[in-house]
Structure 1
Amino acid sequence: MDKGTLVVGVRPDLPRLGLRTADGRFEGFDIDVARYIVERLGKKVRFVPVRAADRIPVLEKGKADLVLATLSVTPERKTKIAFAGPYFTSYQDVMVRAAERGVTKLRDLKGRKFCAVRGADTAQRLTAVTGMTASLVPAADYDQCMKMIKSRAVDAITTNDVILAGLIRREGTGFRLVNARISEQNTGVGIRRGDPDGCEALNKAITTMYQDGTAAKLVAKWFAGSGLDMSIIEVPQFEGCL
Protein backbone atom coordinates (compact mmCIF):
# COMPACT_ATOMS: atom_id res chain seq x y z
CA MET A 1 0.00 0.00 0.00
CA ASP A 2 3.04 2.27 0.24
CA LYS A 3 3.81 1.97 -3.47
CA GLY A 4 2.64 4.44 -6.09
CA THR A 5 2.80 1.89 -8.92
CA LEU A 6 1.86 -1.76 -8.55
CA VAL A 7 3.48 -4.37 -10.77
CA VAL A 8 0.84 -6.92 -11.82
CA GLY A 9 1.65 -10.28 -13.36
CA VAL A 10 -0.84 -11.19 -16.10
CA ARG A 11 -1.13 -13.85 -18.78
CA PRO A 12 0.06 -12.81 -22.26
CA ASP A 13 -1.33 -15.87 -24.03
CA LEU A 14 -5.03 -16.24 -23.17
CA PRO A 15 -7.51 -14.58 -25.55
CA ARG A 16 -10.27 -12.62 -23.80
CA LEU A 17 -8.53 -13.09 -20.42
CA GLY A 18 -4.96 -11.87 -20.61
CA LEU A 19 -3.39 -11.30 -24.00
CA ARG A 20 -0.47 -9.18 -25.17
CA THR A 21 -1.31 -7.66 -28.53
CA ALA A 22 1.09 -7.10 -31.42
CA ASP A 23 1.72 -3.51 -30.29
CA GLY A 24 2.63 -4.61 -26.76
CA ARG A 25 -0.61 -3.70 -24.99
CA PHE A 26 -2.42 -6.09 -22.65
CA GLU A 27 -6.15 -6.76 -22.93
CA GLY A 28 -8.77 -9.09 -21.48
CA PHE A 29 -10.98 -9.73 -18.47
CA ASP A 30 -8.12 -10.12 -15.98
CA ILE A 31 -6.49 -6.97 -17.34
CA ASP A 32 -9.67 -4.92 -16.88
CA VAL A 33 -10.17 -6.32 -13.36
CA ALA A 34 -6.58 -5.45 -12.46
CA ARG A 35 -6.95 -1.91 -13.78
CA TYR A 36 -10.18 -1.46 -11.83
CA ILE A 37 -8.93 -2.65 -8.45
CA VAL A 38 -5.58 -0.87 -8.73
CA GLU A 39 -7.41 2.36 -9.59
CA ARG A 40 -9.67 1.86 -6.56
CA LEU A 41 -6.49 1.70 -4.46
CA GLY A 42 -5.39 5.01 -5.93
CA LYS A 43 -2.34 3.47 -7.62
CA LYS A 44 -0.85 3.25 -11.08
CA VAL A 45 -0.34 -0.13 -12.73
CA ARG A 46 2.43 -1.77 -14.73
CA PHE A 47 1.85 -5.18 -16.29
CA VAL A 48 4.42 -7.94 -16.68
CA PRO A 49 3.74 -11.19 -18.59
CA VAL A 50 3.67 -14.49 -16.68
CA ARG A 51 3.08 -18.00 -17.98
CA ALA A 52 1.21 -20.63 -15.97
CA ALA A 53 4.31 -22.10 -14.32
CA ASP A 54 5.71 -18.64 -13.40
CA ARG A 55 2.73 -17.18 -11.55
CA ILE A 56 3.86 -18.10 -8.04
CA PRO A 57 7.64 -17.65 -8.57
CA VAL A 58 7.22 -14.01 -9.68
CA LEU A 59 5.62 -13.25 -6.32
CA GLU A 60 8.14 -15.25 -4.31
CA LYS A 61 11.03 -13.49 -6.06
CA GLY A 62 9.47 -10.03 -5.67
CA LYS A 63 9.13 -9.45 -9.41
CA ALA A 64 5.40 -8.66 -9.09
CA ASP A 65 3.21 -7.18 -6.36
CA LEU A 66 0.02 -8.87 -7.56
CA VAL A 67 -0.83 -11.70 -9.94
CA LEU A 68 -4.14 -11.75 -11.82
CA ALA A 69 -3.60 -14.64 -14.20
CA THR A 70 -6.37 -17.26 -13.84
CA LEU A 71 -4.71 -18.29 -10.57
CA SER A 72 -7.07 -20.68 -8.76
CA VAL A 73 -6.99 -20.67 -4.97
CA THR A 74 -5.75 -24.06 -3.72
CA PRO A 75 -4.45 -25.30 -0.34
CA GLU A 76 -1.09 -26.17 -1.87
CA ARG A 77 -0.64 -22.69 -3.35
CA LYS A 78 -1.64 -21.08 -0.05
CA THR A 79 1.46 -22.61 1.55
CA LYS A 80 3.60 -20.44 -0.76
CA ILE A 81 1.62 -17.23 -1.35
CA ALA A 82 -1.48 -15.45 -0.05
CA PHE A 83 -4.66 -14.62 -1.92
CA ALA A 84 -7.06 -11.70 -1.98
CA GLY A 85 -10.56 -12.34 -3.25
CA PRO A 86 -11.35 -14.51 -5.13
CA TYR A 87 -12.50 -12.03 -7.75
CA PHE A 88 -14.28 -14.60 -9.92
CA THR A 89 -15.82 -18.03 -9.51
CA SER A 90 -15.70 -20.31 -12.52
CA TYR A 91 -15.72 -24.04 -13.16
CA GLN A 92 -13.36 -26.50 -14.73
CA ASP A 93 -14.83 -27.53 -18.04
CA VAL A 94 -13.97 -29.34 -21.25
CA MET A 95 -13.82 -28.05 -24.82
CA VAL A 96 -14.37 -30.35 -27.79
CA ARG A 97 -14.74 -29.94 -31.52
CA ALA A 98 -18.26 -28.82 -32.41
CA ALA A 99 -18.62 -31.87 -34.65
CA GLU A 100 -18.36 -34.19 -31.62
CA ARG A 101 -22.14 -34.50 -31.34
CA GLY A 102 -21.96 -37.68 -29.29
CA VAL A 103 -20.26 -35.84 -26.43
CA THR A 104 -22.83 -34.36 -24.03
CA LYS A 105 -21.17 -35.13 -20.69
CA LEU A 106 -17.70 -35.74 -19.30
CA ARG A 107 -17.87 -39.54 -19.24
CA ASP A 108 -18.57 -39.58 -22.97
CA LEU A 109 -14.85 -38.78 -23.23
CA LYS A 110 -13.70 -41.65 -21.01
CA GLY A 111 -10.36 -43.00 -22.16
CA ARG A 112 -9.84 -40.20 -24.71
CA LYS A 113 -6.88 -37.83 -25.07
CA PHE A 114 -6.94 -34.48 -23.22
CA CYS A 115 -4.51 -31.60 -23.62
CA ALA A 116 -3.40 -30.12 -20.30
CA VAL A 117 -1.03 -27.15 -19.92
CA ARG A 118 2.01 -27.59 -17.69
CA GLY A 119 1.78 -25.55 -14.47
CA ALA A 120 -2.02 -25.79 -14.30
CA ASP A 121 -3.66 -28.19 -11.84
CA THR A 122 -6.77 -29.05 -13.86
CA ALA A 123 -5.49 -32.38 -15.18
CA GLN A 124 -5.39 -33.87 -11.70
CA ARG A 125 -9.00 -32.84 -11.04
CA LEU A 126 -10.09 -34.46 -14.29
CA THR A 127 -8.61 -37.85 -13.45
CA ALA A 128 -9.96 -37.62 -9.88
CA VAL A 129 -13.55 -37.80 -11.14
CA THR A 130 -15.00 -41.17 -10.13
CA GLY A 131 -14.94 -43.63 -12.99
CA MET A 132 -13.12 -41.24 -15.31
CA THR A 133 -10.02 -42.28 -17.21
CA ALA A 134 -8.08 -40.14 -19.64
CA SER A 135 -4.80 -39.94 -21.47
CA LEU A 136 -3.19 -36.59 -20.63
CA VAL A 137 -1.05 -34.92 -23.28
CA PRO A 138 1.08 -32.07 -21.86
CA ALA A 139 1.50 -28.73 -23.64
CA ALA A 140 3.45 -25.55 -23.00
CA ASP A 141 0.42 -23.30 -23.54
CA TYR A 142 -3.13 -23.22 -24.90
CA ASP A 143 -2.03 -22.26 -28.41
CA GLN A 144 -0.23 -25.60 -28.53
CA CYS A 145 -3.39 -27.30 -27.21
CA MET A 146 -5.40 -25.68 -30.00
CA LYS A 147 -2.98 -27.01 -32.61
CA MET A 148 -3.36 -30.47 -31.11
CA ILE A 149 -7.15 -30.48 -31.09
CA LYS A 150 -7.30 -29.11 -34.65
CA SER A 151 -4.97 -31.84 -35.87
CA ARG A 152 -6.90 -34.45 -33.84
CA ALA A 153 -3.82 -35.29 -31.79
CA VAL A 154 -6.12 -34.80 -28.77
CA ASP A 155 -9.89 -35.07 -28.40
CA ALA A 156 -10.45 -32.34 -25.83
CA ILE A 157 -8.92 -29.56 -23.74
CA THR A 158 -9.68 -29.19 -20.05
CA THR A 159 -9.16 -26.09 -17.90
CA ASN A 160 -11.17 -23.21 -16.42
CA ASP A 161 -14.31 -22.48 -18.42
CA VAL A 162 -13.34 -18.83 -18.88
CA ILE A 163 -10.07 -19.84 -20.56
CA LEU A 164 -11.95 -22.17 -22.87
CA ALA A 165 -14.61 -19.51 -23.52
CA GLY A 166 -11.88 -17.11 -24.59
CA LEU A 167 -10.45 -19.66 -27.01
CA ILE A 168 -13.91 -20.28 -28.47
CA ARG A 169 -14.48 -16.54 -28.94
CA ARG A 170 -11.15 -16.24 -30.74
CA GLU A 171 -11.78 -19.21 -33.04
CA GLY A 172 -15.31 -18.11 -33.91
CA THR A 173 -16.66 -21.55 -34.86
CA GLY A 174 -15.69 -25.18 -34.67
CA PHE A 175 -15.52 -25.69 -30.91
CA ARG A 176 -17.91 -25.81 -27.96
CA LEU A 177 -18.06 -26.26 -24.19
CA VAL A 178 -19.34 -29.53 -22.76
CA ASN A 179 -20.57 -27.66 -19.62
CA ALA A 180 -19.20 -30.48 -17.48
CA ARG A 181 -18.64 -28.27 -14.40
CA ILE A 182 -16.05 -30.69 -13.02
CA SER A 183 -15.15 -28.53 -10.02
CA GLU A 184 -15.55 -24.98 -8.79
CA GLN A 185 -12.56 -22.75 -9.47
CA ASN A 186 -12.07 -19.66 -7.30
CA THR A 187 -9.75 -17.29 -9.12
CA GLY A 188 -7.88 -15.07 -6.70
CA VAL A 189 -5.41 -12.21 -6.67
CA GLY A 190 -2.03 -13.68 -5.80
CA ILE A 191 -0.03 -11.60 -3.31
CA ARG A 192 2.98 -12.20 -1.10
CA ARG A 193 2.34 -13.59 2.36
CA GLY A 194 2.27 -11.27 5.37
CA ASP A 195 0.33 -8.33 3.90
CA PRO A 196 -3.15 -8.41 5.53
CA ASP A 197 -3.71 -4.67 5.03
CA GLY A 198 -3.08 -4.94 1.30
CA CYS A 199 -5.30 -8.01 1.13
CA GLU A 200 -8.19 -6.25 2.90
CA ALA A 201 -7.87 -3.24 0.59
CA LEU A 202 -8.03 -5.51 -2.44
CA ASN A 203 -11.09 -7.32 -1.07
CA LYS A 204 -12.85 -4.00 -0.57
CA ALA A 205 -12.10 -3.01 -4.17
CA ILE A 206 -13.37 -6.38 -5.47
CA THR A 207 -16.60 -6.04 -3.47
CA THR A 208 -17.18 -2.59 -4.96
CA MET A 209 -16.55 -3.98 -8.45
CA TYR A 210 -19.52 -6.34 -7.99
CA GLN A 211 -21.75 -3.84 -6.20
CA ASP A 212 -21.42 -1.12 -8.85
CA GLY A 213 -22.13 -3.56 -11.71
CA THR A 214 -18.64 -3.46 -13.22
CA ALA A 215 -18.05 -7.20 -12.76
CA ALA A 216 -21.19 -8.17 -14.72
CA LYS A 217 -20.31 -5.72 -17.49
CA LEU A 218 -16.79 -7.10 -17.83
CA VAL A 219 -17.99 -10.72 -17.97
CA ALA A 220 -20.45 -9.79 -20.74
CA LYS A 221 -17.82 -7.71 -22.57
CA TRP A 222 -15.31 -10.53 -22.82
CA PHE A 223 -17.35 -13.77 -22.85
CA ALA A 224 -20.78 -13.11 -24.39
CA GLY A 225 -21.48 -15.52 -27.23
CA SER A 226 -18.99 -18.16 -26.06
CA GLY A 227 -21.47 -20.55 -24.47
CA LEU A 228 -20.33 -19.61 -20.96
CA ASP A 229 -23.13 -19.52 -18.38
CA MET A 230 -23.39 -15.88 -17.28
CA SER A 231 -26.77 -16.11 -15.54
CA ILE A 232 -25.38 -15.56 -12.03
CA ILE A 233 -22.68 -12.95 -11.39
CA GLU A 234 -22.29 -12.42 -7.67
CA VAL A 235 -19.56 -11.57 -5.15
CA PRO A 236 -17.48 -14.73 -4.53
CA GLN A 237 -16.98 -16.04 -1.00
CA PHE A 238 -13.74 -14.44 0.18
CA GLU A 239 -10.93 -16.58 1.57
CA GLY A 240 -10.05 -14.18 4.37
CA CYS A 241 -6.77 -12.32 4.91
CA LEU A 242 -4.00 -13.70 7.12
Structure 2
Amino acid sequence: MLAAVLAGLSVGVVSGCGPGVLTLGVSYDRPGLAIRAGNDFSGFDTVLGRDLARRLGHPGKKDVSLINVPERRTTPPTGELPYDVLVAAYPATDALRAKADLVGPYLSGVQDLAVRADERDAVSATSLAGRRVCAVAGSEIGRTAPTAFPGATIAYRSTLSTCLTELRRGTVDAVTDERLALRGYAAEQPFRGTIRVAGVSIATFDYYLAVRRKDPRLCGRVKDALTAAVADGGWARAYEEQLVRTGVTERVPAPPRAITGCTG
Protein backbone atom coordinates (compact mmCIF):
# COMPACT_ATOMS: atom_id res chain seq x y z
CA MET A 1 0.00 0.00 0.00
CA LEU A 2 2.81 2.40 0.87
CA ALA A 3 4.30 2.05 -2.62
CA ALA A 4 0.98 3.10 -4.11
CA VAL A 5 0.84 6.06 -1.76
CA LEU A 6 4.33 7.26 -2.61
CA ALA A 7 3.65 6.81 -6.32
CA GLY A 8 0.67 9.12 -6.00
CA LEU A 9 2.65 11.98 -4.46
CA SER A 10 3.73 13.34 -7.82
CA VAL A 11 0.13 13.80 -8.93
CA GLY A 12 -1.43 17.10 -7.94
CA VAL A 13 -4.98 17.63 -9.10
CA VAL A 14 -7.30 14.65 -8.80
CA SER A 15 -10.30 15.97 -10.66
CA GLY A 16 -11.00 18.96 -12.83
CA CYS A 17 -11.17 22.45 -11.39
CA GLY A 18 -13.97 23.74 -13.58
CA PRO A 19 -17.00 25.80 -12.54
CA GLY A 20 -18.76 24.44 -9.50
CA VAL A 21 -15.76 22.41 -8.32
CA LEU A 22 -14.49 22.98 -4.79
CA THR A 23 -10.73 22.50 -4.36
CA LEU A 24 -9.54 20.93 -1.10
CA GLY A 25 -5.89 20.88 -0.06
CA VAL A 26 -5.12 17.55 1.66
CA SER A 27 -2.06 15.44 2.39
CA TYR A 28 -1.45 12.32 0.33
CA ASP A 29 0.80 10.40 2.71
CA ARG A 30 -0.44 10.69 6.30
CA PRO A 31 -2.21 7.41 7.14
CA GLY A 32 -5.27 8.00 9.30
CA LEU A 33 -5.36 11.70 8.48
CA ALA A 34 -5.18 11.72 4.69
CA ILE A 35 -3.72 9.18 2.31
CA ARG A 36 -3.90 8.33 -1.37
CA ALA A 37 -3.46 4.79 -2.65
CA GLY A 38 -3.93 4.78 -6.41
CA ASN A 39 -7.22 6.56 -7.01
CA ASP A 40 -8.56 5.83 -3.53
CA PHE A 41 -8.52 8.44 -0.78
CA SER A 42 -9.11 7.95 2.92
CA GLY A 43 -8.29 9.54 6.26
CA PHE A 44 -10.03 11.86 8.66
CA ASP A 45 -9.04 15.07 6.88
CA THR A 46 -10.23 13.77 3.51
CA VAL A 47 -13.54 12.40 4.81
CA LEU A 48 -14.27 15.53 6.85
CA GLY A 49 -13.32 17.69 3.88
CA ARG A 50 -15.77 15.85 1.61
CA ASP A 51 -18.47 16.17 4.28
CA LEU A 52 -17.90 19.92 4.48
CA ALA A 53 -17.95 20.12 0.69
CA ARG A 54 -21.33 18.34 0.64
CA ARG A 55 -22.68 20.86 3.15
CA LEU A 56 -21.36 23.65 0.91
CA GLY A 57 -23.31 22.31 -2.07
CA HIS A 58 -20.68 20.04 -3.65
CA PRO A 59 -22.06 16.54 -2.92
CA GLY A 60 -20.36 14.32 -5.52
CA LYS A 61 -16.76 13.24 -6.06
CA LYS A 62 -16.74 15.11 -9.36
CA ASP A 63 -17.72 18.26 -7.48
CA VAL A 64 -14.53 18.20 -5.39
CA SER A 65 -10.89 18.40 -6.47
CA LEU A 66 -8.33 16.99 -3.99
CA ILE A 67 -4.94 18.67 -4.34
CA ASN A 68 -1.79 17.39 -2.68
CA VAL A 69 -0.35 19.63 0.04
CA PRO A 70 3.47 19.64 0.13
CA GLU A 71 5.13 18.22 3.23
CA ARG A 72 6.77 21.55 4.07
CA ARG A 73 4.03 22.31 6.50
CA THR A 74 4.86 25.65 8.11
CA THR A 75 2.89 27.42 5.38
CA PRO A 76 1.46 26.48 1.98
CA PRO A 77 3.36 27.57 -1.14
CA THR A 78 4.12 31.26 -1.54
CA GLY A 79 1.42 33.57 -2.83
CA GLU A 80 -2.33 33.12 -2.53
CA LEU A 81 -3.64 29.93 -0.97
CA PRO A 82 -3.98 27.56 -3.97
CA TYR A 83 -7.05 25.76 -2.58
CA ASP A 84 -10.54 26.87 -1.64
CA VAL A 85 -10.15 25.09 1.71
CA LEU A 86 -7.02 23.61 3.25
CA VAL A 87 -7.75 20.52 5.41
CA ALA A 88 -4.30 19.28 6.35
CA ALA A 89 -3.61 19.61 10.10
CA TYR A 90 -2.07 23.07 10.00
CA PRO A 91 -1.61 24.99 13.25
CA ALA A 92 -2.65 28.64 13.32
CA THR A 93 0.70 30.26 12.55
CA ASP A 94 1.05 33.96 11.73
CA ALA A 95 2.36 33.00 8.29
CA LEU A 96 -0.82 31.03 7.53
CA ARG A 97 -3.05 33.81 8.88
CA ALA A 98 -1.37 36.19 6.44
CA LYS A 99 -2.52 34.07 3.47
CA ALA A 100 -5.96 32.82 4.43
CA ASP A 101 -8.91 33.06 6.81
CA LEU A 102 -8.75 30.40 9.53
CA VAL A 103 -11.72 28.43 10.83
CA GLY A 104 -11.55 26.08 13.78
CA PRO A 105 -10.07 24.37 15.51
CA TYR A 106 -11.32 21.28 13.70
CA LEU A 107 -8.83 18.90 15.36
CA SER A 108 -6.37 18.86 18.25
CA GLY A 109 -3.00 17.14 18.04
CA VAL A 110 0.07 16.20 20.03
CA GLN A 111 3.73 16.20 19.03
CA ASP A 112 5.16 12.76 19.82
CA LEU A 113 8.12 10.52 19.07
CA ALA A 114 8.56 7.28 17.17
CA VAL A 115 11.44 4.92 17.94
CA ARG A 116 12.39 1.44 16.80
CA ALA A 117 10.22 -1.29 18.26
CA ASP A 118 13.17 -3.03 19.90
CA GLU A 119 14.13 0.08 21.88
CA ARG A 120 12.67 -0.54 25.32
CA ASP A 121 14.31 2.24 27.29
CA ALA A 122 12.09 5.11 28.34
CA VAL A 123 12.26 7.91 25.79
CA SER A 124 11.78 11.61 26.41
CA ALA A 125 12.78 14.89 24.82
CA THR A 126 15.79 15.16 27.12
CA SER A 127 16.89 11.51 26.89
CA LEU A 128 17.77 11.96 23.21
CA ALA A 129 20.74 14.25 23.86
CA GLY A 130 23.66 13.08 21.73
CA ARG A 131 21.36 11.12 19.40
CA ARG A 132 19.79 11.84 16.00
CA VAL A 133 16.15 12.97 15.79
CA CYS A 134 14.50 13.28 12.38
CA ALA A 135 11.88 15.94 11.59
CA VAL A 136 10.20 17.17 8.41
CA ALA A 137 12.06 20.16 6.99
CA GLY A 138 10.01 23.35 6.94
CA SER A 139 7.38 22.10 9.37
CA GLU A 140 6.42 23.88 12.57
CA ILE A 141 7.58 20.82 14.54
CA GLY A 142 10.84 20.84 12.62
CA ARG A 143 11.32 24.54 13.29
CA THR A 144 11.06 24.06 17.05
CA ALA A 145 12.95 20.74 17.20
CA PRO A 146 16.35 22.19 18.24
CA THR A 147 14.70 23.72 21.30
CA ALA A 148 12.46 20.73 22.03
CA PHE A 149 15.37 18.24 21.98
CA PRO A 150 18.32 19.89 23.71
CA GLY A 151 21.63 18.29 22.82
CA ALA A 152 20.19 16.15 20.02
CA THR A 153 21.27 16.35 16.39
CA ILE A 154 18.24 17.23 14.24
CA ALA A 155 18.19 15.49 10.86
CA TYR A 156 15.79 17.23 8.47
CA ARG A 157 14.14 15.26 5.68
CA SER A 158 11.56 16.24 3.06
CA THR A 159 8.81 13.83 4.15
CA LEU A 160 7.69 11.96 7.24
CA SER A 161 7.90 8.63 5.42
CA THR A 162 11.59 9.31 4.65
CA CYS A 163 12.26 9.97 8.35
CA LEU A 164 10.52 6.73 9.34
CA THR A 165 12.38 4.73 6.70
CA GLU A 166 15.67 6.00 8.11
CA LEU A 167 14.47 5.09 11.60
CA ARG A 168 13.87 1.49 10.47
CA ARG A 169 17.33 1.37 8.91
CA GLY A 170 19.03 2.81 12.01
CA THR A 171 20.22 6.02 10.37
CA VAL A 172 18.32 8.08 12.98
CA ASP A 173 17.31 7.21 16.53
CA ALA A 174 13.87 8.84 16.70
CA VAL A 175 11.31 10.69 14.60
CA THR A 176 9.16 13.53 15.87
CA ASP A 177 5.85 14.55 14.31
CA GLU A 178 2.09 14.63 14.91
CA ARG A 179 1.05 11.62 17.04
CA LEU A 180 -1.84 10.60 14.79
CA ALA A 181 0.41 10.62 11.74
CA LEU A 182 3.07 8.55 13.53
CA ARG A 183 0.47 6.05 14.75
CA GLY A 184 -1.00 5.86 11.26
CA TYR A 185 2.36 4.84 9.82
CA ALA A 186 3.06 2.45 12.70
CA ALA A 187 -0.13 0.56 11.77
CA GLU A 188 0.89 0.21 8.10
CA GLN A 189 3.42 -1.98 6.31
CA PRO A 190 6.38 -1.81 6.09
CA PHE A 191 6.52 -0.02 9.44
CA ARG A 192 4.12 -2.24 11.42
CA GLY A 193 6.04 -4.12 14.07
CA THR A 194 9.31 -2.29 13.36
CA ILE A 195 8.57 1.08 14.97
CA ARG A 196 6.54 2.16 17.96
CA VAL A 197 5.10 5.49 19.09
CA ALA A 198 6.55 6.45 22.46
CA GLY A 199 3.49 8.28 23.79
CA VAL A 200 5.49 11.34 24.84
CA SER A 201 3.53 14.61 24.78
CA ILE A 202 6.11 17.17 23.69
CA ALA A 203 3.70 19.88 22.55
CA THR A 204 0.01 20.25 21.75
CA PHE A 205 -1.59 21.94 18.77
CA ASP A 206 -4.98 23.07 17.56
CA TYR A 207 -5.40 22.54 13.83
CA TYR A 208 -7.43 24.89 11.64
CA LEU A 209 -9.07 24.95 8.25
CA ALA A 210 -7.60 27.63 6.01
CA VAL A 211 -10.03 29.30 3.60
CA ARG A 212 -9.05 31.18 0.47
CA ARG A 213 -10.04 34.84 0.57
CA LYS A 214 -11.04 35.02 -3.09
CA ASP A 215 -14.71 34.55 -2.15
CA PRO A 216 -15.48 36.71 0.91
CA ARG A 217 -18.57 34.62 1.73
CA LEU A 218 -16.79 31.28 1.73
CA CYS A 219 -15.24 31.61 5.20
CA GLY A 220 -18.60 32.06 6.91
CA ARG A 221 -20.08 29.14 4.98
CA VAL A 222 -17.17 26.87 5.94
CA LYS A 223 -17.55 27.91 9.56
CA ASP A 224 -21.27 27.09 9.46
CA ALA A 225 -20.56 23.72 7.79
CA LEU A 226 -17.96 22.74 10.40
CA THR A 227 -20.24 23.84 13.24
CA ALA A 228 -23.04 21.70 11.78
CA ALA A 229 -20.73 18.68 11.36
CA VAL A 230 -19.79 18.89 15.03
CA ALA A 231 -23.39 19.39 16.15
CA ASP A 232 -25.00 16.56 14.15
CA GLY A 233 -22.27 13.97 14.70
CA GLY A 234 -20.64 14.11 11.29
CA TRP A 235 -17.30 15.04 12.83
CA ALA A 236 -17.44 12.15 15.33
CA ARG A 237 -18.46 9.66 12.62
CA ALA A 238 -15.49 10.64 10.46
CA TYR A 239 -13.13 10.29 13.44
CA GLU A 240 -14.56 6.90 14.42
CA GLU A 241 -14.39 5.56 10.87
CA GLN A 242 -10.95 6.80 9.93
CA LEU A 243 -8.98 6.86 13.17
CA VAL A 244 -10.59 4.46 15.65
CA ARG A 245 -11.70 1.57 13.44
CA THR A 246 -8.33 1.60 11.67
CA GLY A 247 -6.50 1.24 14.98
CA VAL A 248 -4.73 4.60 14.85
CA THR A 249 -6.24 5.64 18.17
CA GLU A 250 -8.49 4.08 20.79
CA ARG A 251 -11.48 6.39 21.11
CA VAL A 252 -13.27 9.42 19.71
CA PRO A 253 -12.37 12.52 21.72
CA ALA A 254 -14.72 15.34 22.54
CA PRO A 255 -15.25 17.42 19.39
CA PRO A 256 -14.17 21.04 19.18
CA ARG A 257 -16.31 23.09 21.57
CA ALA A 258 -16.22 26.48 19.92
CA ILE A 259 -15.60 27.05 16.22
CA THR A 260 -14.03 30.45 15.62
CA GLY A 261 -13.00 32.34 12.53
CA CYS A 262 -14.24 34.92 10.04
CA THR A 263 -16.09 37.40 12.23
CA GLY A 264 -15.44 35.55 15.50
TM-score by length of 2: 0.79
1:158–1:229 Cα change, 3 Å? farther
Aligned partner of 1:135 among 153, 160, 171: 153
Q: Are the equivalent residues in 2 in contact too, given 1:10–1:68 (CA < 8 A)?
A: yes
Instruction: For 2:231 and 2:163, locate their aligned partners in 1 and report how far apart those are by CA, in whole Å.
Output: 36
SS of the residue corresponding to residue 54 of structure 2 reads helix
Instruction: For 1:105 and 1:229, locate their aligned partners in 2 and report how far apart those are by CA, in whole Å.
Output: 22
Could you report, residue by residue, the CA deviation over 1:108-166 in whole angstroms, capped at 9, with x for unpaired residues?
A: 2233211111231102333334x733211111112211210011111111111111121
Identity in percent: 26
Q: Are the equivalent residues in 2 in contact too, given 1:106–1:178 (CA < 8 A)?
A: no
The farther-off stretch of 7-16 and 97-106 is 97-106
- TM alignment of 1:184-223, pairs within 5 A: 184-193=204-213, 197-223=217-243
Matched with 1:99 is: 118
- Shift, 1:232, TM fit: 2.7
The farther-off stretch of 177-186 and 194-203 is 194-203
Instruction: For 2:184 and 2:200, locate their aligned partners in 1 and report how far apart those are by CA, in whole Å.
Output: 17
Instruction: For 2:138 and 2:250, locate their aligned partners in 1 and report how far apart those are by CA, in whole Å.
Output: 26
- Shift, 1:61, TM fit: 4.2
- Shift, 1:167, TM fit: 0.8
- Shift, 1:103, TM fit: 2.2
Matched with 2:179 is: 161
Unaligned 5+ runs, structure 2: 1-18
Q: Which has the higher contact order (CA 8 A, sep 6+)?
A: 1
- Shift, 1:184, TM fit: 1.7
Aligned residues: 237
Q: Are the equivalent residues in 2 in contact too, given 1:7–1:45 (CA < 8 A)?
A: yes
1:28 correspondence with 2:43: yes
Matched with 1:146 is: 164
1:180 correspondence with 2:211: no
Report the aligned-residue RMSD. 2.5
Which segments of structure 1 move beyond 4 Å, counting only runs of 4 or more? Answer: none
Matched with 2:12 is: none
Q: Are the equivalent residues in 2 in contact too, given 1:160–1:185 (CA < 8 A)?
A: no
Matched with 2:27 is: 11
1:78–1:109 Cα change, 3 Å? same
Letter in 2 for 1:133: G
- TM alignment of 1:41-60, pairs within 5 A: 41-43=56-58, 44-53=63-72, 56-57=76-77, 60=79
- Shift, 1:208, TM fit: 2.1
- Shift, 1:174, TM fit: 2.6
Instruction: For 1:132 and 1:228, locate their aligned partners in 2 and report how far apart those are by CA, in whole Å.
Output: 29
Instruction: For 1:192 and 1:46, locate their aligned partners in 2 and report how far apart those are by CA, in whole Å.
Output: 15
1:144–1:102 Cα change, 3 Å? same
TM-score by length of 1: 0.86
1:235 correspondence with 2:250: no
Matched with 2:7 is: none
Unaligned 5+ runs, structure 1: none
Instruction: For 1:37 and 1:64, locate their aligned partners in 2 and report how far apart those are by CA, in whole Å.
Output: 14
Q: Are the equivalent residues in 2 in contact too, given 1:85–1:236 (CA < 8 A)?
A: no
